[in-house]
Structure 1
C-alpha cells in the first residue's frame, strides 16, 4: 500500500534537491562570469604595470618563480620576436602574442591571455582558465553546502508537517468506522480542511443513499411479510375447509378456491421476485437496441387470449414510426406486459385497449390507453407505491404491477406519466429520455 506521507516526502525532497542543484549551477555560472571579469581586469592591470618598467635582457638567465605562489604567467618579447622575460620557465605557456584579450589552447590546458605593445616590446600576461573554474566551483559549493546539509532536517520537518496535515483524513476514517447499518449519521464537515470537504460530502451522500436503500429494504421486507401473511392464512383456512367438506361437491369447490388462492400467492411471489431483480444492484444486464414495435406486437399476442375471453378489443395503433430504445429487452417486456395486463384486468367486458408507440421531440415513447374506469388524479402518485391497491377495486392483485413499471422505467432513464385517455379511461405513457444508440 502506497503512503501519501512517504510520496510527499520523496517528492518534496527531490524537488528541493533538484532546485538546489539548479541554483548551484546558476551560482557556478554567475561566479565564473564574475571571476572572468575580475581576473581579466587583473590581467590588464598587471600588463600595464610592466609597460612602465625597463625589463633587462634575460635570455641567458631563466627567472625561477614558485608556480604555487603565482597564478599569472608573464612573457615579454622584443620587436624582433626575441623573448626577454619569462616568469614560469617550467610551464608550457602560449607562444602567441595577441593584442588584447584572447583564449588560447595548449597541450597543457586553456589560457586566458592579455597582450599589449609598448615601446616596441610586446607584453603578454596569461592565466590558466582552470584556476578560474576552480574558484567559481568553490564559490558555488560554499553557497550550496548549507542547503545540502539541511536536507535531513528538512526531511524530518516535512515528515512531521505532512503527518499533521493528514490528521483530518485519519479523523474521517475513524468516523467512518463508527458507522453501522443502524447508525448511518452524516460525517461532520464543519472542522475539516477545505481539501477534505469534497471527500466528506461524497461520503455523506453515499451514507444517505445507503440509508435510503436499507430503509427501503426494511420497508419492502415488512410489506412483503404483511402482504404474504393474508394469502397464506387464507390458504390455510381453505385447506381446512377442504378437509372438512361433507361431500365430493363441497370438496371440489373448496379445492377450486384453494387452487385460486395458490395462484394468487404464486403471482404475488413472482411479482416480488421480479421487483427484487429490477432494483438497483439486482443484476444488471447488458443493453442493446430494442424496437418498440416488435416488443408491443409480442406482448399483445401474449395477452390476446385473455382479452378475447373478456371480449376486449386489444390492438396496436399504427403510427408509421419506428421507435428504438437502448435497454434491457427482457425488462422492457416486463414493463409493457404489466401495463397491458393492468389495462386488460381493469377494462370492463366489451371495452377497448390501444397500444401506441412514437417519438416526442425525438424522444421515443410507448403508451397504453384503455376504456376502463381510470385512476383519480389524487391517487395517480400513490399507485406507484408497493402493495398499494385502490379501495374501490374488486380485481385481485398484489399492488406491485405499477411499482415494477416505475422501477424498470427509472433504470432506463424514463418516466411513467398517467393521464386521461381519449377512450375514456387511463393513459399510461412511458417517456424515454435517452436517444437510441447509433
Structure 2
C-alpha cells in the first residue's frame, strides 16, 4: 500500500538521521580542531617545563615499562646530539628532532611532535594522534547521543503532526464517499489546506462538467422520448389501418403511409444517434487530421446531386478555396456539411438555388478563420428565431416540410467540438446563409 503518511514519516526520519550524521561529522571536525589547538599548547608547555630538569648520561639497563595512561613521549638531547633521556624506549620516533611542530608517521601510527632548543639541550615531546581522534569522537558522540535517544519521540511527534495535517483530506474523502450518485454539488474547500486547493478546484470543475453532461443527457433522453412517441403512435395507427384494409388499393395506400412513417422514424433515430456521437462531452476516439474543406465540399455536392436534381434545385459551388485547411475529424465534418446541404434542399422550393462556398480570411485579419458557407433561396429564418433553431427538436411555426429538428443541432455540436464559429444570417439569394468558421491549422502542422 502506498501510504502518504508512512512515506512522509520515513522520509522525514531519514532526513533527520542524515542531519544528525552531518551534524556529528561537523561536531567531530570542530572538536578535533579545538583539541589540536589545546594539545599543541600542552605539548609546548610540557617541553618548556623540562627546561630546568637535570638529565644524566644514558643508562644501559632497560627502564621500567611506562604507565599505560601516559600519552606523551619525551626525548632530550645535549648540544652534541647525545640523547640524555627517553621516556618510552620502545617508541619508534625519529632519532633527530625537527624544531617546532611537526606530524610524524611511524610504525606505531601518526604522532604530533614539538621540539625546542633550551639552554644546552634539545627537548622533544610527542603525542599519538589517535588520542586526539578518540577525544574528538567521544565529544561528538556525547553531543549526538541525546538526539539519537529522542529520535523515537521525534518519530511519534512527526506521525501525529502528519496525521493532523492530513485530517482535512480525510474529512474531504469521507464527505465524497457519503455523497449520493446524483449529488454533484461543489465540494466545500473552507478548511482544506492550500496545497490541496488545486485538487478541490479540479474536482469541483469535474463535478460541474458532470452536472452539465447529466443535465444535457436527461434533457436529450426526455426530448428523444417525446419526439419518438408521436411517430411510434402514428406507425401503430398505420399498422392497424393496414390490417383493416381489405381492398387492394386501400391496403397499398396504407402500406405506402406505413413505409413513409418508417422512413421518417428511421431518419429520426439516425439523427438522434448522430447527435449523441457528436456531443462535445461524448467519447470520441477519432484522430484529427489536416483536411481541405474544398475536398469535403466537393464530395458532399456529389452525394446530394441526385436529390437536388429530383427537386429541380440548382446545387453548386460559387468558390472553393483549396488553401483552406482545417484540422478535424473527417467523418464529423462530412456529417456537418451533409446536414447543411440536406436542410437547404429540404426548405428550398423547387427551381431554387443553393450555393456552397469555401473561403479564407486574410492572413493579417484579427481572428482569421477558414469559412464554409451554405446559401439558399428558400424562405430563410426570421432573425428572432435564429438562435432557437439550433436547439434540439425545434421547428419554426408554419413549417410544412417534414423534419426532425436535429439537423442544425448536430451542426452546432460538431462545430463546438472543432472550435468553430457558427453564423446564421440572410444570404445574397434571399434565403438562409449558414457560415461555419474554423480556426486555421497551426504552423506546426
Q: TM-score, normalised by structure 1?
A: 0.95
Check the 8 A contact 2:294/2:321 in 1, yes or no.
Answer: no
Helix, strand or coil for the counterpart of 1:92? coil
Residue 423 of structure 1 corresponds to which residue in structure 2?
A: 429
Residue 253 of structure 2 corresponds to which residue in structure 1?
A: 253
| Residue of structure 2 aligned with 1:377, choices 383, 388, 393 | 383
Range that drifts further, 70-79 or 191-200: 191-200
| Residue of structure 1 aligned with 2:439, choices 430, 433, 437 | 433
Distance 1:63 1:424 in 2: 131
Check the 8 A contact 2:110/2:129 in 1, yes or no.
Answer: yes
Check the 8 A contact 2:113/2:127 in 1, yes or no.
Answer: yes
Residue 129 of structure 2 corresponds to which residue in structure 1?
A: 129
Q: What displacement does 1:129 show?
A: 0.7
Residue 190 of structure 2 corresponds to which residue in structure 1?
A: 190
Residues 319, 239 of structure 1: alpha-carbon distance in 2 compared, 3 angstrom cutoff: closer
Range that drifts further, 235-244 or 268-277: 235-244
Check the 8 A contact 1:276/1:282 in 2, yes or no.
Answer: no
1:121-174 Cα offsets, whole Å, 9 max, x none, are 111011001110110011111111111121122112211211111111111111
Helix, strand or coil for the counterpart of 1:273? helix
Range that drifts further, 369-378 or 395-404: 369-378
Residue 120 of structure 1 corresponds to which residue in structure 2?
A: 120
Distance 1:126 1:238 in 2: 123
- Residues 1:29 and 2:17 are matched in the alignment: no
Range that drifts further, 26-35 or 412-421: 412-421
Helix, strand or coil for the counterpart of 1:67? coil
Check the 8 A contact 1:110/1:128 in 2, yes or no.
Answer: yes
1:286-332 Cα offsets, whole Å, 9 max, x none, are 22222211111110011111111222111122244422222211111
Check the 8 A contact 1:347/1:372 in 2, yes or no.
Answer: yes
- Residues 1:404 and 2:410 are matched in the alignment: yes
Distance 1:139 1:190 in 2: 51
Aligned positions, number? 438
Distance 1:407 1:209 in 2: 16
Check the 8 A contact 2:66/2:87 in 1, yes or no.
Answer: no
Q: What displacement does 1:112 show?
A: 0.5
Q: TM-score, normalised by structure 2?
A: 0.94
1:236-268 Cα offsets, whole Å, 9 max, x none, are 222223333353323322222221111111100
Check the 8 A contact 1:67/1:88 in 2, yes or no.
Answer: no
1:265-294 Cα offsets, whole Å, 9 max, x none, are 110001011112222334321222222111
Residue 206 of structure 2 corresponds to which residue in structure 1?
A: 206
Output aligned runs, 1:1-400, within 5 Å: 1-60=1-60, 63-64=63-64, 66-245=66-245, 247-279=247-279, 280-360=281-361, 361=363, 363-400=369-406
Q: Structure 2 regions of 5+ residues with no counterpart?
A: none
Distance 1:30 1:94 in 2: 30
Check the 8 A contact 2:388/2:394 in 1, yes or no.
Answer: yes
Range that drifts further, 218-227 or 309-318: 309-318
Helix, strand or coil for the counterpart of 1:358? strand
Q: Structure 1 regions of 5+ residues with no counterpart?
A: none
Distance 2:270 2:162 in 1: 57
Check the 8 A contact 1:289/1:324 in 2, yes or no.
Answer: yes
Check the 8 A contact 2:274/2:410 in 1, yes or no.
Answer: yes
Check the 8 A contact 1:111/1:126 in 2, yes or no.
Answer: yes
Helix, strand or coil for the counterpart of 2:111? strand
Distance 2:430 2:55 in 1: 131
Residues 208, 405 of structure 1: alpha-carbon distance in 2 compared, 3 angstrom cutoff: same
Q: What displacement does 1:364 show?
A: 2.1
Check the 8 A contact 2:321/2:360 in 1, yes or no.
Answer: no
Helix, strand or coil for the counterpart of 2:226? helix
Check the 8 A contact 1:64/1:89 in 2, yes or no.
Answer: no
